[in-house]
Structure 1
Amino acid sequence: METEGFRDLLQQAEQLTAEMDSGTDLPHVERNLAQILEAGQRLMTRTAPASHDASDVKASILLGSKGYVLPKITERLDGLRATTTFEPLEPVRDTDIQGFLKNERENALLSVIEQTRKHTFAEVERHQWESMQNEWEREKHKILNTLLGSGPDTFEFQQETEMLSSDSVLNQGRSNLDHIEMAYARQVYVYNEDVVSNSIRPSLVHLFLDVAAKIDDKAILDLWEMMRCMSDVPLTPAQGALPAAVRGNKDTQRLLVEKAIHHLESSFLEFLKSVVYENLELSRLGGIPGTFNLVRSYLKLHLPPSSFTAEDGVLEGQPIWALVYYCLRCGDMKAAQQVVDKVSHQLGDFASYFHEYVKNPQHRLSVANDTKIKLQYRRVVKNTQDPYKRAVFCVVGQCDPHEDHAEISDKIDDYLWLKLSQLEVDDDHNSQESLTLERFQKLLYEDYGESHFQGYQNPMLYTQVLVLTGQFEAAVEFLSRVEHLRHHAVHMALGLFELNLLYLPSSCQAPLLSQEAGDPQCVRRLNIARLIMMYTRKFEATDAREALQYFFFLRNLKTASGDNMFQSCVSELVLETREFEMLLGRLERDGTRRPGAIDKFCQDTDKIIETVARDTEAKGMFEEAVCLYDLARNQDKAVVLINKLLSKVVSQAPSPEGNRDRLKNQAVSMAQRYRTVPQNITAANSGTFFLLLDLMTFFDHYHAGTIDQALDTVKQLKLLPFKPDEVEHRVNGFKNFTDEIRRNMPDILLATMTLLHNKYTQTRSSSVHSPVPGQAGIKDGGKETFLNYLRSQAKTLIMFAGMLPYRLPGDVNARLVQIEVLMN
C-alpha cells in the first residue's frame, strides 16, 4: 500500500512539471538547494540599495511629468564650474581681437570693483576702531573721574620755610599733593586768611597766576593769563547776585567778548614781535617804534596766500589791505587809521566808514553806513581775490559773519578773533544773518566739539577756545577729565566762583556739568561742590587741613536737605579721616575746649561739631558721637548715648583693653567733669548715668569674687528688696527706671542670688558658729540663724521677681528658683 502511495505522488509531481514546461521558450534549469542559495546571495550583493533606486525613480517621474530628462540635466550640471564673482576672465586666443578687448574691459571693471570693495571694508574697519577707541577713552576718563582717589605717586615733601607760617596748613612730611598742588593750596590758604579776617581780598586768579608763573610750562601760563584777562570784568557783581543775572546781562557779555578780543590781539602782537626780532636782518625793522612798522616788517617775512591778489595798491612796498588787517589784528586802531589816512583817495567810501568805526566806543557803524558797506561787500568785495580786503570789510561792517576766511585764518586764534569781532551781542531781532554769542558758542561746543579740536590730544587748545567764548563751565569740566590737568581746572573754577561768574545747579546732587529746564541752549551749569569733593578725595586722608581750606569755599551753598554744605563736607572729612581732635578740638579736664582747625573759619563751631556728631551717630559710631556731643556742649545727648552703650556691657566681666573697660573709662572721665562743672542734663538721664556706673562697680566686685563688697554695693543702690516689707516699694520704684536699667534687672537679680548662695555655702561650710561681723538682722549670733537670714533674702528676691511688671527670661526664672531651692 505504501509503495502505491509514493508512486502516485511521483506521478502527480511529474505531471505538474510537464504543465509548467509547456508553452514557454525558457530553458529548463535544474539546481539543488545549495546552488539556489548561492545564486540568491550573489544576486543580493549586486542589487543597489532600495532607497537610492526609489529616489532616482521618484525624481525621474517628477521631472519627466514636466518635460525634463534627468540624465541630460545631470550632464549639464556636471559641466558647470563654480567661480568667484570677481575672478578675472580667462584669456582668449591672440587672434580674437574683439574677444580680447571685451575680456580686458571686463577684467578692468572687475579689478576696480574688487579694489573699491577692499578699500571700503578697510575704511569701515578703521572708522570702527577709531570710534571704539574714542568711546573707550571717554569711558576711561569717566571711570577715573568717578574713582578718583589717592594714588601711589606719593613722595616725601621737603618743607620750605618761606612758604609756611606758624599755623600753616602745609606742615606734613608725607603728602599726596605734588609740588604744583601744594603751591595752589598755599595760595588758597592765603586767600582764606584774608576772607576770615575781613581784610581786603586779593584776586584769587592773580594768586593762581603767580603759581603758574613759577611752573615751567608756557601753555599753563598762557591759560592763566587768559583767565586773568577774561575775569577782569569792571562790573563788580553785587553780593549775593545770581550768576545768571551777571552772566546773562548784555553789558557783561559785551565785556567778556571785548576781553577775549583784547587777549587775542595782545597775544598776536607779542607773536609779531618775536618773529620780527628773531629775523631783524630780513625784516629791516628800523628805529621807528610803532605797530605800523612792526606789521610792515612782518609782511616782509610772511608769505601771502597762494590765491592772493593785492588790490587798491601798496603802501611802502606792502599791500594796503594786508597792512590794515594786521594793524586791526594787533588791536592798534591808530595804526590802522594811519594806513587808511595815507591812502584814503584809493579806498573810496571805506575811509569814511573806518573813521566812524574807530570813533564809536563799541566799534559799530550807523544804520545808514552799515547798510552801505554791506551792500558794497555783497556787490563787489565778496568776489575779490584779496582775502585781506574781504576780512577787513567783514570786521568793520559785520559783513557775512559765516565766512571762515580760511586763506588768512589758518590758526584757531585768527579764526576766533575774526568771529568775535563780528558778534552781535545786542541783536534783539535775532536775525539768521547775524552771528550772536549763543550761536557761536553752540557752533564750537556742540557742532564742532571735542573731536574736531582733538581735545584729548591737545586739551589746552580746546580749553582756551571754550574760555575765550565765555563757556567757563564747559572748559572746567573738560579740563577736569584730563588727570594731569585736573588741579588747574579746580582752581580755575574757584577763581571764577569767587567772582560770581559760574552758573551753578539748583541741586548739589546734579552731575558735574548739567542743564536745567528754562536755560538757554548754550548755558551749562557746573557743580562746583562735586568738583571740589572729587579733587580733595585724593589727599584728604593725608592732608585734612588742606581739604578743609577748599571746603570753606562752599560755606554759602546748601545740600539737598537744606544743611550747610561746608558743615556737611567737614562732617564727611572727620568721618573719613577720624582726625577728631585735630579738626574739631578736644575737651580739657576743666571743661574748656582746645580749638581745632575749624575754629578759624567760623565762630559757631558748636553747630558744626553737632552736625558731625549727628552724622557720626547715624553711621553707628556711638562712642565717637558721645565725645562729639560732649565737645559741642550738648551733654544731655552725650549722656543718653553713653547710657545706651553702658547698658549693654554693664554686666560683663572686666577685661583689659576690652570694650567694657574703654566705655567705663570714658564714662568715669565724663562723670568727674560733670560733678565739678554743672551741666545742662535732665535728672532722669543723669540719674541713669550714675546708677549705671554704680552697677558697673557692683559687677566688678561680683566678677572679682568679693562677695561682701558686692552685697554691700547692691544694698546701697536700693534696687532690690532684702526684706519682705520692701518688696512692694521696690516694685513701684522699678516703674520709674529707664529701659537701660530695666534690661539689666535679670542680670542684677541673678548675680545677687548667686552672691547669696555663695555666702550661704561659705557660711555653712565654715567652722565658725558666730555670724560674720557687720551683718545686720542677726539677733542670736548663731550660724543657723544667719543661714535662715540668707534664705529669707533669697525668698524675698524670688517674690520680687514674680511681682515685677517685666517679663524675665525663662532661664533666669528657672535659675533663680534653682538657687533658692539649693539654699533650702
Structure 2
Amino acid sequence: MSDDKASVLTGFNSQDVAPKDSGKIFGKLIETSRNLPTTSSELGTILLSVNEIKKRAHELRQKSKPLQDHTRAHYLLAGSGLAIQDVETSLRALKSRKLMEQNVVSMETDNDLDTYLRNKKDENILSSIERSLASAAKDFDNFVNQNFNLDWEQRKEEVRENFGILVKRRKGDYKATMEGIDGPSITWGENGRAILDGDSRLNVNENFATRKKFEQYAKTINAFNNAKQSDTEFSLTGGIIETLTNSTESINRQLPQAWKILEHVRGSNDVVNKSKEFLEAQFFDYVDKLYKRNPSEGLPTNVNKIRSFIDHKLKNHNNTWKYGNLTIVNGVPIWAFIFYLLRAGLAQDALEVAVANKLSFKKVEQSFLTYFKAYVSSKDRKLPNEFVIRLHTEYNQHIKNALDGDPFRLAVYKIIGRCDLTRKNISSITLSIEDWIWIHIMLIREDSSGNGPLYEKYDLSDFQTIVTSYGASMFSGSYILALMLSGLYELAIQNAMSINEIDAVHLAIGLAYYKKLSISTYQNTKLSELITTGEGRTQINFAKLLGNYTKSFKFSDPRIAVEYLILINLGGTKDAAAVCHEALRELVLETKEFTILLGKVNRDGTRIPGVIEERQSLLSLSDEKDFLHKITEQSARRADEDGRSYDSLLLYQLADEYDIVIRIVNKLLSDLLSNTDLAQPLLNLDDNSETSPVLIAKKLINVYVNNLEIAQKISQKNKETCILLLKVVDIRRAYYSQNWQETLEMIEEIELIPFVDEVSSRRKAQEFSNLSPEITKNIPKLLIISMTCVCKIVKALNQSEYQSAAKIQQVEALKRLAKNCMIYAGMIQYRMPRETYSILINLEVQL
C-alpha cells in the first residue's frame, strides 16, 4: 500500500511529522487503527484478488524505499489482522512463479468465459467492499474530529422532547415526509393547558356505590344533551332531583335542597326575593306535612295549619308555653302567630289575624296596624319614610328594652321596620338556620341611591360577608344552603367539592346552565386553580372542574367523557367553545378510542360517525367539517408518529385523506412482502380485513376505484403501486404453491424484472431509481423468485426421461432469462441486501 493511500486512511502525513514527535504519532496511529476491521470484525478478513495483489506489488516495487520503510502500512495492516511478513513472502512467491500471468493465459487459452466472468464478479465484489471500508474509515475519523465537541444543550432538548417534557418541534408527519413539506404541529391543547390532566384523585370505578352514582348522573346528562340537541324541553334540576331521590346511597341532606334552591331561583337574578320565596315555601311545606301527620280541628286552612304548628312548636309536653312572656289571645300567642304567618309567606293572612285581634293590642301597639297595613300593601315591602321614623321611635322607646315584652313582637317590629340593624339577630327566640337566614334576607334593602343613614344600610353583600365570616363550622352542615341562598354559588361549589366531588360537579353544571356561575375566561389561563378571586369577584374555572372530573373515566368511558366535555360550551362564548374543542382533541389523542370518538368506515366505504360528530350541533362550530377534519387529521398524524399504522389508516380515512390512506396501505403491504420469508404464506387463517395489509389493500382498492369521487382524490402513481403490490401478492401465492411456470408468467406480466434481453436489463436498471420505494423494496425477492423458478423448471426438464429439441430450446431460453436477471441484478446489486446477490449467484451456479 502506498504512503498516500495509507495517509488518507489514517489521517496522517509522514512528511509533516518531525522525528521527535514519532512516539506521539505512533500512539495516534494505533488508536486510529482500532477503528479498522480486524479478523474479529463481523465483516471478516479481506481476501485480495490475484490481480489486486499483483497491482499492489507493482506499486510497491516502484518505490525507492524498501517495504519495511512503509511504517503506516505496517500499522494499517496490523490493524486489519494481516502480518506484513506474510504479505512479503507471498509476493516473492508470486513473483517467482508468475502465478497471476499463468492463470490469465490459462483462461484465455481455454476460452472459459463463464469462469472468467464468475471470477470477475468475485473480484468486483471484494474490490467494492475494500473501497467501502476505506471510505468508511475516513468518514469515521472525519466525523469524530468534527463532532467531538457535542452541542449538549441540543442533546438535552432532544432527550426532554423524547420523554414528552419539552415539545417545541416535531418530525414531519407521514404526509410531509412523503411530499417533502412541513405539516402543522400537533398541540395537546392550544396553550398546552392539559385540560384532562388535573389534580383530581376521584375514581368513579372505586366501588359499586360510586360507580352507580356516576352512571345515574351520566344518564341524566345524556338525556340533557339529547334534549338540547333536539331542542326539546328538559328540566335539568328536575332530572337531578329525581336521580338523587331514587338513589340508594346516603345523600348529604344539603344536596337535594341545593338543587331545589336552584330550581326556584333559576329564572331570576333577584337573589334576595327568590331566596325569600324559597325559604317561605320550604317552611310552609314543612308546616303542611306536620299538619297532615297531626290533624287538628277545623278546616285545613293556611291559618289553621300555622296555628297547629305553633301548638306543636311552642308548647311543652305538659301543655305549657315554652316562652313566659307570650301575649296569649284566645289560647294563641298572637305575636308568634303573626311572625310564623310572615315566615310562611302569608303576609295577607297575618294582616287579617292582626286586624281580627286589634282589641288585644296594648296601648303602645295601637299604631302597629297602620304600619302593618302599609307594609303588606307595599309591593317591595317598604314603609313610607314617615312611618319608618314613627315605628323606629316606638321600637326604641317601648319594644326594644321591654323586660316583659313578647320576643315575637320584637321580631315582627324588627322585620317590618328594619329596626336596630346593628343587632340583626333575635337571641330571645330559638331559630333554625333557615329561620336565621330568612330574617337576614327580610332585613336586606338594595338602595341604589346610597341615601339614608349608614346604620340603616344592609344589602346583599353585607349579608354575604356575614355568611363567609361565620364559615362552615357555624352552620351545622347547612353551609352550602347558606351560600346558595346568599348568591355565593362559586363558594357553594368549592364547599361541595370538599364533601363529594361527583355531586359538586353536577351542581356546578346546573348553576352554569342556568347562568348562575361566574365563569373565568380561559384566554392565557393555565387551569391551575378551581376558584379565583380578584377585582372584587369570585370566579370558577368551569373547564378545569369538568376536565378534572372527566379525567377519572376518560379511558374507561370515553363516550360519557364527551358528554361532559361538551358542557364546557354551556357558556356559549367563543372562548368557552375554543376550550371545549381543545378538550375534545386532548380526549381523542390521549384515549386513542378513535372508533368511538371519531367513527369508523364500513366495508362498503361508508362512514359511521363517532360520538363527537353526533354532538357537533352542541359545539358552536363555525365550520363543522373543518373542525372534524382537523381533529381527525391531528389524531392521524399522532397515531402515525407513534407507529400505530392501523389507527392512522382509519383516521386518514375519516379525514377523507384517501391518497395518504393508499400510501400507508402501500407501505404496510410492501413491508409485509419484503419481511415475510419466501417459505412462509402471506396470509394466515386468523387474518382478517382489519389487520391484514393484503385484505385491507384489496378492500380499499375495490371501494376506491369504484367510487369516482374518492378515486379522483388518489394519485395515479399511488393507485398503480397498490395494484402492482397486490399482483406481487398473487405471485407470492403461486410461488408458495410451487407453481413455478405460472409464477414466472405472472412476474413477466408485471414487467418489473427484465426477461427479454440484455438491453431490457440495462433499461430496467436505469428505471430502478424511478420506482416507488414500496416497489424497489421487493425487487430483490422477485429476482430470487425468478431465479428459483428457472432453476426448478430447468432441473425438472433435465431430469425428464424424454428429451427433445423443444425441451433443449426451453432450457436455453430459461438460461438466457436467468442471465438477463443476473445482468440486471449486477447493475443494482449495491441497492439490494448483501445476501441477495450471493443467493442469486448460487442459484445461477445450479444452472
Partner of 1:264: 279
Q: Deviations over 1:515-551 (max 9, x none)?
A: 2654x34x3315267437726955974x766665555
> Is 1:791 the counterpart of 2:846 in the alignment?
no
Larger deviation, residues 416-425 vs 656-665? 656-665
> What is the rounded CA distance, in whole Å, between the counterparts of 1:402 and 1:822 in structure 2?
114
Give 1:650's aligned residue.
673
Q: 1:358 maps to which residue?
A: 376
Quick one: which amino acid aligns to residue 396 of structure 1?
Answer: I
Quote how far apart the aligned CAs of 1:682 are: 2.9
Q: How big is the shift at 1:503?
A: 2.7
Closer, same or farther in 2 for the Cα pair 1:296/1:339, shift >3 Å? farther
Which amino acid in 2 is paired with 1:207? G
Residue 500 of structure 1 aligns to a residue whose secondary structure is coil
**Do the aligned partners of 1:230 and 1:259 also contact (CA within 8 Å) in 2?**
no
* Residue aligning to 1:682: 715
Query: What residue is the counterpart of 1:437 in the other structure?
Result: 460
After superposition, what is the alpha-carbon deviation per residue over 1:398-448, rounded to whole angstroms, capped at 9, x for unaligned?
341653323325421111111122223445649687343234334434x33
Structure possessing the higher relative contact order (Cα contacts under 8 Å, 6 or more residues apart): 2
Q: What is the rounded CA distance, in whole Å, between the counterparts of 2:264 and 2:430 in structure 1?
A: 27
Q: Distance in 2 between matches of 1:794 and 1:506?
A: 72
Partner in structure 1 of residue 230 of structure 2: 197
SS in 2 for 1:408: coil
Stretches of structure 2 that go unaligned for 5 or more consecutive residues are: 1-196, 618-623, 677-681
The match for 2:149 is: none
* One-letter code aligned to 2:415: V
Does the 8 Å CA contact 1:272/1:295 hold for their aligned counterparts?
A: no
| 2:703 matches 1:673 | yes
| 213-222 vs 468-477, greater mean Cα deviation | 213-222
Q: Is the 8 A contact 2:597 2:610 kept in 1?
A: yes
2:542 matched to 1:527? Answer: yes
Written as runs of structure 1 = structure 2, the 5 A alignment for 1:488-527 is 488-507=503-522, 510=527, 513-515=530-532, 517-518=534-535, 520-521=536-537, 523-527=538-542
Report the equivalent of 1:35: none
Secondary structure of the corresponding residue to residue 681 of structure 1: coil
**1:602-634 Cα deviation digits (max 9, x unpaired):** 576896487356425524343133224324544
Contact map agreement 1:769 1:783 (CA 8 A) in 2: no
Q: Deviations over 1:226-268 (max 9, x none)?
A: 6345434585xxxxxxxxxxxxxxxx44x22212212211222
TM-aligned CA distance change 1:150 to 1:528, over 3 Å: same
Query: How far did residue 750 of structure 1 move?
Result: 2.7
**Residue 150 (str. 1) matches residue 205 (str. 2):** yes
Q: 2 CA distance for matches of 1:687 and 1:782?
A: 33
2:507 maps to a residue whose letter is M
After TM superposition, give the deviation of residue 302 of structure 1 in Å.
Answer: 0.5
Q: What secondary structure does 1:146 align onto?
A: coil
What is the alpha-carbon distance in structure 1 between the residues aligned to residue 786 and residue 728 of structure 2? Answer: 17
Between 808-817 and 677-686, the greater mean CA deviation after superposition:
808-817
C-alpha change, 1:635 and 1:323, in structure 2 (3 Å) is same
1:634–1:381 distance in 2 versus 1, CA, 3 Å: farther
CA distance in 1, matches of 2:457, 2:705: 80
Q: Secondary structure in 2 aligned to 1:524?
A: strand
Q: Which residue of 2 aligns with 1:466?
A: 483
Alignment check: 8 A CA contact 2:371 2:383 kept: yes
Query: 2:833 & 2:421 partners in 1: Cα distance?
Result: 95
Instruction: Output the CA distance in 1 between the equivalents of 2:716 and 2:798.
Output: 47
Q: Distance in 2 between matches of 1:432 and 1:730?
A: 103
Contact 1:514 1:524 in 2 (8 A): yes
Normalized against structure 1, the TM-score is what?
Answer: 0.62
How far did residue 670 of structure 1 move?
1.0
Report the counterpart of residue 725 of structure 1 in structure 2. Answer: 759
SS in 2 for 1:515: strand
1:413 matched to 2:434? The reply is yes
Normalising by structure 2, what TM-score? 0.60
- Give the Å deviation of 1:792: 3.4
- Residue among 285, 289, 298 paired with 2:301: 289
Pair 1:227-2:259 in alignment? yes
The 5 Å alignment of 1:230-379 reads: 230-233=262-265, 235=267, 252-253=268-269, 255-275=270-290, 286-287=298-299, 289-291=301-303, 294-295=306-307, 298=310, 301-302=313-314, 310=325, 315-341=329-355, 342=358, 343=361, 346-347=364-365, 350-367=368-385, 369-370=387-388, 373=391
AA of the residue aligned to 2:485: L
Partner of 1:630: 653
Change (3 A) 1:639 1:783: closer
Give distance in 2, aligned partners of 1:787 and 1:217: 86
Separation in 1, partners of 2:835, 2:466: 81
Counterpart selection for 2:693 from 636, 651, 663: 663
Contact 1:585/1:596, CA 8 A, preserved across alignment: yes
1:394 aligns with 2:428: no
The alignment's C-alpha RMSD in Å is 4.8
Q: Which residue of 2 aligns with 1:755?
A: 785
Structure 1 match to 2:492: 475
Separation of aligned partners in 2, 1:425 and 1:734: 88
Query: How far, CA to CA, are the matches of 1:296 and 1:763 in structure 2?
Result: 113
Deviation at 1:594, TM superposition (A): 5.2
Q: CA deviation at 1:308?
A: 6.1
Shift in Å, 1:332? 1.4
From the superposition, tell whether residues 754 and 185 of structure 1 become closer, same or farther in structure 2 (CA, over 3 Å): closer
- Is the CA contact 2:632–2:651 (under 8 Å) kept in the aligned structure 1? yes
The aligned amino acid for 1:499 is Y
Whether the aligned pair in 1 keeps the contact of 2:753 and 2:764 (CA below 8 Å) is: yes
- Does the CA-based 8 Å contact 1:639-1:685 persist in structure 2? yes
Match of 2:664 in 1: 641
Contact 1:325 1:392 in 2 (8 A): yes
Specify the structure having the higher radius of gyration (Cα). 1
Residue deviations 1:757-804 (CA, integer Å, cap 9, x gap): 43564466556399x99xxxx9982745643542232122221456xx
Which of 663-672 and 710-719 deviates more? 710-719
Deviations 1:20-79 (A, max 9, x none): xxxxxxxxxxxxxxxxxxxxxxxxxxxxxxxxxxxxxxxxxxxxxxxxxxxxxxxxxxxx
| Distance 1:719-1:411 versus aligned 2 partners, 3 A rule | same
Deviation, structure 1 residue 566 = 6.7
Deviates further, 719-728 or 318-327: 719-728
CA distance in 1, matches of 2:421, 2:627: 61
Flag the 1:264–1:198 CA change in 2: closer, same or farther, 3 A. closer
Q: What do the CA deviations read for 1:657-686 (whole angstroms, capped 9, x no partner)?
A: 469972221221111111222213233433
Distance 1:811 1:516 in 2: 70
Structure 1 stretches of 5 or more lacking a match? 1-141, 155-175, 236-251, 803-807
**For residues 360 and 714 of structure 1, do their structure 2 counterparts lie closer, same or farther at Cα, with a shift above 3 Å needed?**
farther
Question: For the residues of structure 2 that align with 1:599 and 1:476, how far apart are their CA atoms?
Answer: 31
